[in-house]
Amino acid sequence: MMSVEEMTQKEIEQFLVCARVGRLGVCLEDGKPYVVPVGFAYADGKIFFHTCNKGLKMNALRRNPNVCFEVDEALSDASMFKSVIVFGTAEIISDGERMIPYLQRLIDKYRVPENFDKYMSKPERNREKELGAVRICTITPNKITSKKWVMKG
């Protein structure tokens, strides 16, 4: 028998740290919702991701910083499912030096952990150009909901 339960705060935080992809929900200029998958990290009570400085997502975030962020995981036989939904406020960070600690955490999560300066010194990288083109968006949660489906007995 399946049972639906709230996740504990520790379970929520562990899930947000380990999950690979989240879905960001924003409101477009015409009022329609827009949901996009993003690679992200979670630390110090905030969700953050990097993105290009231009585009639909950034235009929406600049217009309205109120966002919804969702992460889920399920087994193919549906014997386990969990989800976390974060309602929060996004902040766009454009200062290169302020972005580096966030970029370092994303490199550590999605690449082989390597110091940011070493990572950016590779021949194919252009530190100034890349820092100029990218932005970090942080999400400060206002409300977090969660559910986990577990097998009982």
Write the pLDDT tens digit of every residue in 128-148.
887 877 899 999 999 999 999
With beta carbons less than 8 A apart as the criterion, state whether 23 and 36 touch. yes
Give the pLDDT of residue 96. 86
For the entire predicted model, the pTM comes to: 0.88
Q: Please count the other Cβ atoms lying within 10 Å of the Cβ belonging to residue 55.
A: 11
- Radius of gyration, alpha carbons of the chain: 17
Write the pLDDT tens digit of every residue in 53-87.
899 999 999 999 999 999 999 877 766 889 999 99
Distance between CA atoms of residues 119 and 136, nearest Å: 18
Q: Which amino acid is at 45?
A: G
Task: Work out whether the CA dihedral 99, 102, 108, 109 comes out positive or negative.
Answer: negative
Kind of pairing between the strands at 46-52 and 66-74: unpaired
Question: Closest Cα partner for 115 from 124, 123, 107, 125?
Answer: 107
According to the CATH classification, is domain 2-151 in 2.30.110.10? yes
Task: Work out whether the CA dihedral 109, 149, 33, 138 comes out positive or negative.
Answer: negative
